[in-house]
Amino acid sequence: MNTKIDVTAPGKKAEKGGAHPLTKEIREMEKIFTSLGFEIADGPWIETEEVNFDSLNVPKNHPARDMQDTFWVKNLDETVLRTQTSDVQIRYMRKQQPPIRIIAPGRVFRNEATDGRHEAEFHQMEGLMVGKSISIANLKAVLDGFFKKYVGENVKTRLRPGFFPFVEPGIEFDVTCFACGGSDKKCDLCSGSGWMELGGSGMVHPNVLKAGGIDPEKYQGFAFGLGIERTVMAKYGINDIRVFLNSDIDMIKQFN
């Protein structure tokens, strides 16, 4: 048979790929924290109960340990899918004496029903700074510096008392609404309050420093955990957290 090949016909072009929106945003956040003097640290997704809970001052009877919230690894004793990136604090402190200045972005897991605001898998950005004379003023300066670079110069942060077992005092931090800046009483993003709750923080609890092998008499530090999806959703006006992991190409393409 005589097949003719048209060598001048244009070839089929492969579609150009791009990084996932979360990857892109995490890289952007890493760049900002690196410019503020932070190093990037990492930890395993499968974690021991000791690192995930005990060393972080979460008592044995705390409800977070309940099957409802935590994925326990079957057939492996005292092993969980990490419920927060704070495990990296412990792992890092056990290797390194102060001064410490790290961020640890990564995936975390919670055994919960999903809806527009909750996923069983999501990402956090942990931050830890330990040294001599570290105070809440340093925490405020770092958070302010980060959000001004990530969103814009007009963004402000606000600290409020909160409770988390691994910090004392515990602090919840809010950021001025990315969408309305507080000017829209009907804003969907902030419900008209002008503030968005994006994470928890505080001064590292002396028990946590001790568990990390650091003398709380000599050193203090702050830690924070930023919800990455929550922050990215606020930045781009995304109203359903599930869009990040459901592999919707149309959604992903908008970021490339």
Residues in the site for Zn ion, rule: CB under 5 A? 177, 179-180, 187, 189-190
| Of residues 68 and 183, the one with the C-beta less far from Zn ion | 183
Query: CA–CA separation, 22 vs 125, rounded Å?
Result: 12
Compute the least distance from the CB of residue 175 to Zn ion, in Å. 11
Which pair of structure tokens corresponds to residue 92?
A: 């890092």
Q: Which is nearer to Zn ion, 183 or 246 (CB)?
A: 183
> Least distance (Å) from Zn ion to the CB of residue 201?
22
Q: How far apart are CB 169 and Zn ion at their closest, in Å?
A: 28
- Roughly what angle, to the nearest 10 degrees, separates helices 21-35 and 228-236? 100
**CB closer to Zn ion out of 121 and 184:** 184
Give the strand pairing for 195-204 and 100-109. Answer: unpaired
Q: Least CB distance from residue 150 to Zn ion, whole Å?
A: 17
φ, ψ for residue 34, nearest 5 deg: -60, -40
Q: How far is the CB of 177 from Zn ion (least distance, A)?
A: 3
Instruction: Output the smallest distance, CB 114 to Zn ion, in A.
Output: 25
Residue closer to Zn ion by CB (options 97, 191) is 191
Closest to Zn ion by CB, 199 vs 212, is 199
Residue whose CB is less far from Zn ion, 102 or 177: 177
Closest CA to 107 of 51, 199, 44, 27: 44
Phi, psi for residue 119 in degrees, rounded to 5 = -130, 155
C-beta separation of 123 from 225 below 8 A: no
